[in-house]
């Protein structure tokens, strides 16, 4: 199934919304600082492309660094939680509780502690992105085929061998689900960090243009943020298909996990 045939309903709905949006602006003539037309936003995006591109690279750099660190931290936490029931009961509730704290309340403290460089923005991205990865990995570990684990235990396999040969490969599908969510969150986290304090970046650009009532420029930056999030999501989807090709076939024996990693 091609991309268009799979997603054409969403594409049609978006174009319909843009059509009615454009028609409303042309008929009602609201002030441009309240609601600019889609064509006006597109024109602004083209005119401001070099400035927006400069801010985009800053935001993308912060998002990718934070996302990479979030993956590393999440893998460590997930393995610790999975390795011990004591650690699971100790760490898991803290992780869940941490997500009840608004990130916008923590971000100002990060700027006080770490200054206004790239570090506080990266920390914001990590705080936003690590949770879905950890949760998805832990759930993936818990859903491992117990029969296959018992089989390896009868063959005197060690815990490390069982983890590498069965538990981790079987959790890859769940992990990539968390990665796709965290990947889109990473861009949002970078923008939030820049909004609260930065000299460059899409968040800073949107903050300055909104304060100047340049709404068309705000929408232009939003389009770029959405595009970045979709690009990261799509890239992770491609990586998932390459990393776990057995997921393309729904009816596959569980031993395919082991066969997919013959070098372990």
Per-domain boundaries in the chain: 49-259
Average pLDDT over residues 56-80: 93
Give per-residue pLDDT as tens, 17-44. Answer: 999 999 999 999 899 889 999 999 999 9
pLDDT band at 2 (very low <50, low <70, confident <90, very high): low
Beta-carbon-side half-sphere exposure of residue 132 (alpha carbons within 13 Å): 16
Give per-residue pLDDT as tens, 220-254. Answer: 999 999 999 999 999 998 898 888 876 655 434 44
Asked if residues 123 and 169 have their Cβ atoms less than 8 Å apart, the reply is: no
CATH architecture entry for 49-259 = Orthogonal Bundle (1.10)
Average pLDDT over residues 149-177: 81
For residue 254, the model assigns a pLDDT of 46
Whole-angstrom Cα distance, residue 73 to residue 132? 12
Answer whether residue 258 shows pLDDT above 50.
Answer: no
In Å, what is the CA distance from 132 to each residue of 4, 166, 174, 230, 252?
Answer: 29, 22, 10, 17, 27
pTM as predicted: 0.84
């Amino acid at each position: 199934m091609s991309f268009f045939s799979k997603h054409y309903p969403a594409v049609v709905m978006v174009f319909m919304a843009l059509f009615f949006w454009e028609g409303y602006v042309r008929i009602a003539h609201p002030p441009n600082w309240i609601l600019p037309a889609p064509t006006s936003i597109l024109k602004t995006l083209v005119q401001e492309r070099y400035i927006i591109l400069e801010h985009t690279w800053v935001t993308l750099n912060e998002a990718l660094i934070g996302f990479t660190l979030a993956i590393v931290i999440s893998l460590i936490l997930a393995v610790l939680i999975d390795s011990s029931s004591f650690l699971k009961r100790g760490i898991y509730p803290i992780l869940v509780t941490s997500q009840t704290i608004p990130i916008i309340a923590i971000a100002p403290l990060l700027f006080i502690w770490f200054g206004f460089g790239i570090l506080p923005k990266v920390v914001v991205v990590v705080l936003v992105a690590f949770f879905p990865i950890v949760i998805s990995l832990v759930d993936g570990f818990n859903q491992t085929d117990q029969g296959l684990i018992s089989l390896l235990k009868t063959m005197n396999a060690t815990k490390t061998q069982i983890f590498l040969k069965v538990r981790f490969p079987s959790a890859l599908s769940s992990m990539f689900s968390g990665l796709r969510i965290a990947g889109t969150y990473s861009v949002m986290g970078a923008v939030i960090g820049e909004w609260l304090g930065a000299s460059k970046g899409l968040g800073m650009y949107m903050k300055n243009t909104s304060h100047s009532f340049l709404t068309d420029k705000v929408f232009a930056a939003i389009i770029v943020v959405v595009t970045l999030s979709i690009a990261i999501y799509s890239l992770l989807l491609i990586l998932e298909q390459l990393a776990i090709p057995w997921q393309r076939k729904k009816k596959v024996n569980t031993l395919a996990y082991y066969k997919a990693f013959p070098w372990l």
